[in-house]
Chains A and B, each alone.
Chain A
Amino acid sequence: MEYFLHILIISGIYIILTLSLNLIVGFTGLPALGHIGFVCVGAYTSSLLALNYGISPWIGLLIGACLASLLGLIIGFPSIRLKGDYLALATFGFGVIVYSVSKNWVDLTRGPMGLPGIPKFSLIGFELQPVWAYLILVAVFVFITAFVINRIACSPFGRVLMSIREDEIASLSIGKNINRYKLTVFVIGAFFAGIAGSLYAHYITFIDPSSFTMMESIAVLLMVVFGGMGSIKGSFIGALILVIFPEMLRFLGMPSSVAAPLRQMIYGLLLIVLMLKRPQGIIGQYRFK
C-alpha cells in the first residue's frame, strides 16, 4: 500500500512537470529540452535553504520556484530567438550546464555526494510524515498547476500562444509581441518545474545530481508527447501511464540487470512507435510542425 502511494506521489510530481512543459512545448510549440534544469534549481534551492539556514520548506518552495523562473528568464531570453531544432539544442545545452554546475560546484551542492537529510514539509508544527499526507499535499499542487495552466490556456493570452504555435508570422502581423509571449511562457513553465523539484526534494529527503540528468528531460518530453501536446488531460494520462507502466514491469520477477535496460528499451520503442503511428499523442490534436 505504502509503495502504491509512493508511486502515486511520484506520478503527481511528474504530472506537474508534464503540465508545465506542455505549456511550453504543447501550447506554444517551442521544443524545449532543458526542463530538468529548472527542477534541479528548485530542488537544490529549497533543500539548501532548509539545510543551511533552517528556512521552512514552504518558503523554500516559493523561493526555489522564483529562482527557477529567473533561470527560465535567463535561458529563455537568448533561446527564444532561435527556431525549431536550434532552440531544442540550445535548451538542451542549458540543461547540461545546470546539471554540471550542480555536479561540480562542490562547495555549494556537495557535488555527486548529494544532500542527505532534507527536512519534510510540516503543517502547524506537525511534520508530514505519513505517506498519504504527502500524497494530499502533492495532489493539491497538481490541482493548482492544472487549474492555472487551464486558465492560461483558455484565456486570451493562451489563444495568442496557440496562434504563435500555428503561425508565428501571422501572429506578428496582428501586432503581438511574440518574443514577450514566449518568454512569459518560459518563466511560468520554469516556475512550476521549480515547485515540482522542491516537492521531490522534500519528499525523497535526498537529492544528488544524478536525479537531474538529461534523460529525465527527455522522459518528461515523452510524457507530454505521449499524452498529447496542448492537452491538459493528455498530460495527466501521459505522466500516469509512463510512470506506472514501467513500475509494473518490476513485478515480472526479472533480475534487475535485465529489467532496467529492458524498461528503457520499451521506453525507446514506445517513442519510435508513437512517432510513426500517432505523432500527436493519445488525445492530442496538435502535431509538430
Chain B
Amino acid sequence: MVYTAGAYFAYSLSISLGINPILSFFLASIFSAILGIAIDRIVYLPLRKSNSPGLVFLIASFGIFIFIQNLLQLLYGAQILTLRTGPVVEGYQIFSAVITPIQILILSVSLILLVVLWIIVDKAKMGKAIRAVADDPVGASISGIYPENVILYSFGIGSAIAGMAGILISLETNIEPTMGMNAILKGIIASIIGGIGSIPGALLGGFFLGIIENLGIWKIQAGWKDTIAFAVLIIFLLLRPEGILGKKNNRERL
C-alpha cells in the first residue's frame, strides 16, 4: 500500500506544491519509508509482541490496505491523476521494439535499485542481520542482533523502495487509489514464482510473470491477464512451492 501512497506523495510534492521532480522523488520515498515504519510500529509490533500467527498478520494487513486505499480516495478523490508533465514523446526504435525515454528512465532506476538492494541484503552486514532474524529471531538476538531494530530497518528500506516503484510506475501510467492491489498481488506472485527470500529469484519471477502474461494475451483477449497470472501462481504452488530459485525448506513459511 505504501506503493500507492508513494505515488500520491510524489504527486502532492511535485504537482501540488511545485517542488523539483528529482527532489520530490527522494522526499516522497523518505515519506514512504516513514509511513512503512509507522505501520510497523502501530500495527505489526503489537502483533509480534502477542506472538500472533501469520494469518492474523494477513488479515491485519488487509485492514491496513483497505484503510489507506480509502483514505487516499477521501483525500484525493477517485479520479485518475497523473505525474506526467509536458507532451508525450515519441519513443526510440530498438530492434523493431519501441521504447520511450520514460521507460528507459524507469528501467535504469529499477536496475540501480535492484543492485543497491542486492548489496544491502546479500553483502552488507545489515543484510546478514536481516537474514539472521528471518531465519531465527531468538538465535539472532542471542548473538547480539536486536531483532526489532533489524525489522525497523527492513521496513524502512522496503517501504522506501515500494514508494519509489509507485512513483516510477506513475510516470508511465496514471495514479489512482486502487492501483495498489494489482501491484501487491503481482509482487507476491512474482516472489513466490522466483523463490521467497531470493533477490535474483524476484527478478527472474518478475520477468517470467510479465513475459507469460503478455505472451498469453497475444493469443487471447487482454482481459484474461489476471487469470494467467493466478493460474501460473497455482501451478507453482502445487508443483514447486519453493519457487524457481528458492530452497526446499521454505515450504511452510512466507
Q: Which residues of A contact B (CB under 8 A)?
A: 31, 78, 81-86, 88-90, 93-94, 96-97, 100-101, 103-104, 215, 218, 221-222, 225, 257-258, 260-262, 264-265, 267-272, 275-276, 279, 287-289
Cβ contact within 8 Å between A264 and B66: yes
Q: Considering the chains assembled together, what is the distance between the CA atoms of A262 and B69 in angstroms?
A: 11
Cβ contact within 8 Å between A264 and B63: no
* CB contact under 8 A between A88 and B58, given known A262-B74, A264-B66, A268-B65: yes
Of the residues A94, A225, A258, A264, contact of B230 by C-beta under 8 Å: A94
What residue of chain A has the Cβ atom nearest to residue B67's Cβ? A268
CB-based A-B contact count at 8 angstroms: 124
**Smallest beta-carbon distance A143→chain B, Å:** 29
What residue of chain B has the Cβ atom nearest to residue A270's Cβ? B63
* CB contact under 8 A between A271 and B60, given known A78-B238, A82-B241, A94-B234: yes
User: In the assembled complex, which residues on chain B have CB atoms less than 8 Å from the CB atom of A287?
Assistant: 53, 56
What residue of chain B has the Cβ atom nearest to residue A267's Cβ? B66
Q: Within B71-98, which residues are at the interface with A (CB < 8 Å)?
A: 71, 73-74, 77-78
Q: Which residues of B contact A (CB under 8 A)?
A: 43, 46-47, 52-56, 58-60, 62-71, 73-74, 77-78, 185, 188, 192, 221, 223-224, 226-227, 230-231, 233-234, 237-238, 241, 251-252, 254
What residue of chain B has the Cβ atom nearest to residue A269's Cβ? B67
Q: Considering the chains assembled together, what is the distance between the CA atoms of A103 and B252 in angstroms?
A: 34
Cβ contact within 8 Å between A275 and B59: yes
* CB contact under 8 A between A265 and B241, given known A96-B230, A271-B59: no
Of the residues A78, A84, A97, A264, contact of B54 by C-beta under 8 Å: A84
Question: Which are the 10 A-B pairs with shortest beta-carbon distances?
Answer: A271-B63, A268-B67, A268-B66, A93-B230, A261-B70, A272-B63, A264-B70, A104-B223, A275-B60, A288-B55
Q: Decide if the interface of chain A is mainly helix, strand, loop or mixed.
A: helix
User: In the assembled complex, which residues on chain A have CB atoms less than 8 Å from the CB atom of B53?
Assistant: 287-289
What residue of chain A has the Cβ atom nearest to residue B62's Cβ? A218
Of the residues B60, B73, B224, contact of A272 by C-beta under 8 Å: B60
Cβ contact within 8 Å between B254 and A84: yes
User: In the assembled complex, which residues on chain A have CB atoms less than 8 Å from the CB atom of B241?
Assistant: 82, 86
Cβ contact within 8 Å between B67 and A272: yes
Q: Considering the chains assembled together, what is the distance between the CA atoms of A91 and B220 in angstroms?
A: 24
Q: Considering the chains assembled together, what is the distance between the CA atoms of A218 and B60 in angstroms?
A: 11
Return 13 A-B CB contacts under 8 Å, by A number. A85-B55, A88-B55, A90-B233, A257-B78, A262-B70, A265-B67, A267-B63, A268-B65, A268-B66, A271-B62, A272-B60, A275-B63, A276-B46
Cβ contact within 8 Å between B60 and A84: no
User: In the assembled complex, which residues on chain B have CB atoms less than 8 Å from the CB atom of A101?
Assistant: 227
**Smallest beta-carbon distance B88→chain A, Å:** 28
Cβ contact within 8 Å between B59 and A100: no
User: In the assembled complex, which residues on chain A have CB atoms less than 8 Å from the CB atom of B64?
Assistant: 268, 272
What residue of chain A has the Cβ atom nearest to residue B71's Cβ? A265
Which of the listed residues B62, B73, B224 has the most CB atoms from chain A within 10 Å of its own CB? B62
Of the residues B52, B65, B233, B238, contact of A279 by C-beta under 8 Å: B52
Cβ contact within 8 Å between A96 and B226: yes
What residue of chain B has the Cβ atom nearest to residue A29's Cβ? B55
Cβ contact within 8 Å between B74 and A89: no
What residue of chain B has the Cβ atom nearest to residue A213's Cβ? B181
User: In the assembled complex, which residues on chain A have CB atoms less than 8 Å from the CB atom of B226?
Assistant: 96-97, 100
User: In the assembled complex, which residues on chain B have CB atoms less than 8 Å from the CB atom of A272?
Assistant: 43, 60, 63-64, 67
**Smallest beta-carbon distance A33→chain B, Å:** 9
Cβ contact within 8 Å between A265 and B224: no
Cβ contact within 8 Å between A100 and B227: yes
Cβ contact within 8 Å between A83 and B252: yes
User: In the assembled complex, which residues on chain A have CB atoms less than 8 Å from the CB atom of B52?
Assistant: 275, 279, 288
Q: Considering the chains assembled together, what is the distance between the CA atoms of A258 and B78 in angstroms?
A: 11
Cβ contact within 8 Å between A257 and B47: no
Q: Considering the chains assembled together, what is the distance between the CA atoms of A225 and B52 in angstroms?
A: 14
